[in-house]
Amino acid sequence: MGASLHIDAQIGDIAETILLPGDPLRAKFIAENFFENAECFNKTRNMFGYTGTYKGEKISVMGTGMGMPSIAIYSHELIDVYGCKNLIRIGSAGSYQADIELKDLVLATASSTDSNFQYTFDLPGYYSPSADFDLILAAKKSADKNGIKVKAGNVLSADVFYDDDPDTWKRWAKMGVLAVEMESAALYLNAARYGAKALTMVTISDNFVTGGRLSNEEREKSFTDMMTVALGMSEFI
């Protein structure tokens, strides 16, 4: 038995810095192709998690599944039970702006949302879920060092993937929201509540304005750029 309800790991098995792709198989890919001495610490629900080293620094990676309820459970346990300090989500997103193009890497400085998740914290108003500034700087420095361009701004964390209204996105776009994904708001809220740092970085896989969409082969290469930036952050954290 692990130390938490949903992660089969013991205290000390997970590094203070952890990468969080939605897809557990992507976590497995990162561990097998980027880590040294990778060891699997979680297979519960096939949500694979690994700890290893990258350029001599201890680091972990684990899948979180899709949507805010899923990442909320895992991020809560990673922070509150296992003491993770730096949680970096790496995922995909759909662009809401014509100039946020396919393959662009976006840092989510803040996360708007249509979710009611924040109401569970019983706040007397509206909280603005936002990324940690130190992690934003580390990501930018890593990107610059590796010659990878990044854009930064507000993204939307949506509860619904198949929206009954096909034009809902336009109302967010007019407010300057760059892209849509489904996890960052919950991650930022949990990090704020439990004293950790968090950042979401996403690769644009499709564009609502132009209708463009990456092929599977293009996604793989673009996501590798994102992994390079995320892993390179350890030098600057």
DSSP tag of 19: E
132 in active site: no
The arithmetic mean of pLDDT across residues 26-50, rounded, is 96
The arithmetic mean of pLDDT across residues 103-131, rounded, is 96
Full-model pTM: 0.96
Amino acid letter at 67? G
- Give the residues across from 108 on adjacent strands: 153, 200
The arithmetic mean of pLDDT across residues 97-120, rounded, is 96
pLDDT, tens only, 147-185: 999 999 999 999 999 999 999 999 999 999 999 999 999
- Say what percent of the chain tops pLDDT 90: 95
Rounded to whole angstroms, the Cα distance separating 39 from 31 reads 8
Q: State whether residue 219 is helix, strand or coil.
A: helix
pLDDT of residue 114: 96
pLDDT of residue 216: 78
Burial environment of residue 165 by CB neighbours within 10 A (0 to 12, 13 to 18, 19 or more): exposed
The band of 36, judged by pLDDT with boundaries at 50, 70 and 90, is very high
Q: Which is catalytic among the residues 122, 164, 206, 225?
A: 206
Is the model's pLDDT at 215 over the cut of 90?
Answer: no
- Give the residues across from 16 on adjacent strands: none
Whether residue 169 contacts residue 96, with contact meaning beta carbons closer than 8 Å, is answered with yes
* 137, two tokens: 């700087």
Q: State whether residue 82 is helix, strand or coil.
A: coil
The arithmetic mean of pLDDT across residues 74-100, rounded, is 98
pLDDT of residue 81: 98
- Give the residues across from 106 on adjacent strands: 151, 202
pLDDT of residue 117: 95
pLDDT of residue 220: 67
